[in-house]
Structure 1
Amino acid sequence: MGEDRATSSTACEDGAAATPARVPLLKLVRYFLRLGTLGFGGPVALCGLMERELVGEKGWLTRAEMRDAIAVSQSMPGPLAIQVGIFAAYMRGGFWGAWAGGWAFILPNFLIVAALGALYVHFGGLAWMTAVFYGVSPVVIALILHSCWRLSKLGMEHWLQWAIAVVAFLITVVFKAEVALVFIGAGLVGLLYYGTPFRGARSPAPLSGLAPPVAGSLAQHVAAPSLLGKLLLFFLKAGSLTFGSGLVIVPFLEKGIVQEAGWLSPRDFLIAVAIGMMSPGPVVITATFVGFLVAGFFGSLVSTIGIFLPSFIFVLIVAPILMRHRGDPNVQGFIRGTYGAAIGTILGACVLLGRIAIGDVLTAVIAIAALGLLFRFKVSNPVLIAAAAVIGLVAYPLIRPHWVMVR
């Protein structure tokens, strides 16, 4: 472990010591390839893992630098874990280190999910696949609800945030309104209430947890260029409007992909979300699976580029500006307002998707049992999804003996 340390001197407890030295590009790539392959648990777990390894074990970052990377990444659109990884690579490897480290972080997950997409396209018409996802779909709802609860504990600190959450929930369920507008409106309410326009220069109380996770038939193997272009533009938009937790992208994608474009059925979309949650890396890798289902391998490629490219742009261009202004009370007020909207939107998406995933007594029991296990024993996502798949394989032919394909 000693040979990995890049510090020019020993960091003191508050991270005020000399800045660690530049890390060779190959070491950055190797580290982020491993993190992208083995990093399960969502943005909070991935950021914690990076802090333990990059600060405590390798000494590539000081504590202060890691805190800055997380704080600034919370204030920008894009999946939090990827943002922090790109930022860390930028601090130790410069511009090219950010590009190499960031795409190394993404590459293993892209290959895994694209392969799963190919298998699903090839075997998706078989009854056993229907049985598997009969059991898995209600677990996805439980996973989203549990993650939403964790997010609410991290950042829901005030009655106004809960009021915003209720409004966002109702809009999502009743009107299915454009997610971006909900978040912009919530952010402005937060800015006006917590910021300085009507309150002088007093700063709001600091946030105790992560900043908001704001916004949010199978294809042929060869897609038309126009379809690839539409996928790229859609996911560029999604990557530019999704803050913090990738779960907020779920209602955004459901509206655009299922309701508006009609690229996927609701059932296929639920499967895509399940794949994103059970694979390593960020949940927004769902975009890779969606892209494969819509337009084959090149669809998965352009969708992945689209969802992650804004993160690189924000880190390399916007992050230095935010480093100077992230303590501004108006910026913090906007963030607090959008946090409430994020919680409400995720819950609204659970209602919409739950109507598809939970259609009988058994799926309701699976969802409730999964939620209980998550709260009581903190079971890992892949283990829970695998168990639900086995239940589906056993129970589905007994419940629906003719194995009618649901599409």
Structure 2
Amino acid sequence: MTLAELIRVFGRIGLLSFGGPAAQIALMYKELVEDRPWLTDAQFLRALSFCMLLPGPEAMQLATYAGWRLRGTLGGLIAGLLFVIPGALVIAVLALAYSAYGQLPIAQSLFIGIKACVVVIVIGALMKVSQKALKIRAHLTIAVASFAALFALDLPFPLVIAVAALAGALFLKAPVEPGPKSAPQSIWSTVKTVAIWLAIWLAPILLLELYAPNILVDMAIFFSTLAVVTFGGAYAVLAYMTQIVVGDFGWLTTEQMIDALGLAETTPGPLILVTQFVAMIASDSPGTAIAAGVVTLWVTFAPCFLWIFAGAPYIDRLAHMPRLSGALAGITAAVVGVIANLGLWFAGAVFFEQGFLQFAPVMIAGVAALLLLWRRWDMLWVLPISAALGLLLAPPV
């Protein structure tokens, strides 16, 4: 594909990537596997399994890998940045408006419609990914066990993924894929990549230490640390971040953290953009807020490019390692349970408020399901229709 096609497709993905990782993974699967022969099922699922093992937002890293595979480092940068930038711009505007005016009733009504549509997108994702990932009974067993471990037992996400990988390595020894192995990657090439991206990530922090206010330095260090320990994506780290930001630093109140998550859930881009909102709200002036948002975005996403550009050349070689391939097959099956758990959690948050079923989002989800799953309408049409229905059925007070 041409560079213009790459920009157009990943720009579209970035603009439509509502609803957290489950919906975003579904959107990328549709755009990159179903609608275009850019990735095969095996390539997509293998890359997804790899990204699930990394710290940071797995959907953004998957987009970066897809861009890298299609057009090298430049393609990875384009895909990753286009996945983040639209949502980051929206979050910046919302954070500044939130600081000035508090909650915006009109935006909340629009978001009710968007969130209801996102629930349907997640259901569609679960249906499609499960059809591809659950090929034998053992896959289904791992998926169900992973869902139960997360939903019923509230076990840590990294533990669930680790057990799924172990089960896959022991019991799902995959056959070696036919065809030649990918060319071996030079260890010095990998070391060079790591060194370059470590410098890109950490050099601005050193400059902040010399010239920036202490609040920006604290944010750079904290969110850099967060980028390294966020195994399991944004959901896995929200409790930890809330504890530090609210309890230790006192940057936000608990209510503001809930609002931050709600806004991040209903804007395009990775859910980890909640860190940008937190940094901007914690600032004491619009100028500082913008600087804090840029710093936080930098230290949150620069590591993602490091992980992918260093690890991507090795992903396809896993197809020729039966034990490792089996481990990734186990993780892929567990991903189905993860999506089901996230979908159920998100549906509960959208359809119920203080234990009561909400009429408006249920009706909007029904309309979205008819248009998306039955009539196969494009999301470019269904999302604005759902947002308009949010204004109509849940008008701002």
Residues 217-275 of structure 1, C-alpha deviation per residue, up to 9 Å, x if partnerless? xxxxx95432333223323444xx56xxxxxx464355555688667645642442332
Residue 293 of structure 1 corresponds to 277
* CA apart distance, 1:88: 3.1
Q: Where does the alignment leave 5 or more consecutive residues of structure 1 unmatched?
A: 5-27, 55-62, 91-97, 196-201, 207-221, 243-248, 277-282
Residues 114-139 of structure 1, C-alpha deviation per residue, up to 9 Å, x if partnerless? 22112322444222122222222222
Identity %: 18
Rate the CA distance shift 1:333–1:72 in 2: closer, same or farther, 3 A: closer
Rate the CA distance shift 1:368–1:111 in 2: closer, same or farther, 3 A: same
Q: Residue 386 of structure 1 aligns to which amino acid in structure 2?
A: P
Counterparts of 1:189-208 in structure 2 under 5 Å? 189-195=167-173, 203=175
* Separation in 2, partners of 1:141, 1:49: 21
Residue 149 of structure 1 corresponds to 127
The one of 333, 338, 341 equivalent to 2:331 is 338
Q: Residue 371 of structure 1 aligns to which amino acid in structure 2?
A: A
The one of 76, 95, 100 equivalent to 2:50 is 76
Q: Residue 135 of structure 1 aligns to which amino acid in structure 2?
A: G
* Separation in 1, partners of 2:345, 2:367: 20
Residue 213 of structure 1 corresponds to none
Q: Which moved more, 1:100-109 or 1:140-149?
A: 100-109
* Separation in 2, partners of 1:165, 1:257: 28
Q: Residue 295 of structure 1 aligns to which amino acid in structure 2?
A: A
RMSD: 3.6
SS of the equivalent of 1:175 reads coil
* Separation in 1, partners of 2:350, 2:383: 14
Residue 25 of structure 1 corresponds to none
* CA apart distance, 1:67: 9.4
* CA apart distance, 1:108: 3.9
Q: Residue 122 of structure 2 aligns to which amino acid in structure 1?
A: I
Residues 293-319 of structure 1, C-alpha deviation per residue, up to 9 Å, x if partnerless? 111345554554455445533444334
Counterparts of 1:187-266 in structure 2 under 5 Å? 187-195=165-173, 203=175, 224-238=216-230, 241=231, 249=233, 251-252=235-236, 265-266=257-258
* Separation in 1, partners of 2:218, 2:258: 23
* Separation in 2, partners of 1:326, 1:205: 6
Per the normalisation by structure 2, the TM-score is 0.67
Q: Residue 148 of structure 2 aligns to which amino acid in structure 1?
A: L
2:378 equivalent to 1:396: no
Per the normalisation by structure 1, the TM-score is 0.65
Q: Give the paired residue count.
A: 317
Q: Residue 151 of structure 1 aligns to which amino acid in structure 2?
A: V
SS of the equivalent of 2:155 reads coil
* CA apart distance, 1:204: 7.5
Contact 1:204 1:329 in 2 (8 A): yes
Q: Where does the alignment leave 5 or more consecutive residues of structure 2 unmatched?
A: 17-25, 52-57, 179-213, 247-251, 281-289, 353-357
Contact 1:258 1:266 in 2 (8 A): no
* Separation in 2, partners of 1:83, 1:272: 23
Rate the CA distance shift 1:370–1:317 in 2: closer, same or farther, 3 A: same
Residue 373 of structure 1 corresponds to 371
Residue 165 of structure 1 corresponds to 143
Q: Residue 83 of structure 1 aligns to which amino acid in structure 2?
A: Y
More helix by share: 2
Q: Residue 368 of structure 1 aligns to which amino acid in structure 2?
A: G
* Separation in 1, partners of 2:155, 2:275: 23
* Separation in 1, partners of 2:156, 2:292: 24
The one of 68, 71, 89 equivalent to 1:86 is 68
Residues 10-42 of structure 1, C-alpha deviation per residue, up to 9 Å, x if partnerless? xxxxxxxxxxxxxxxxxx5x6644443234672
* Separation in 2, partners of 1:184, 1:346: 17
Q: Residue 148 of structure 1 aligns to which amino acid in structure 2?
A: L
Rate the CA distance shift 1:83–1:48 in 2: closer, same or farther, 3 A: same
SS of the equivalent of 2:117 reads helix
Q: Which moved more, 1:290-299 or 1:150-159?
A: 290-299
Rate the CA distance shift 1:31–1:301 in 2: closer, same or farther, 3 A: farther
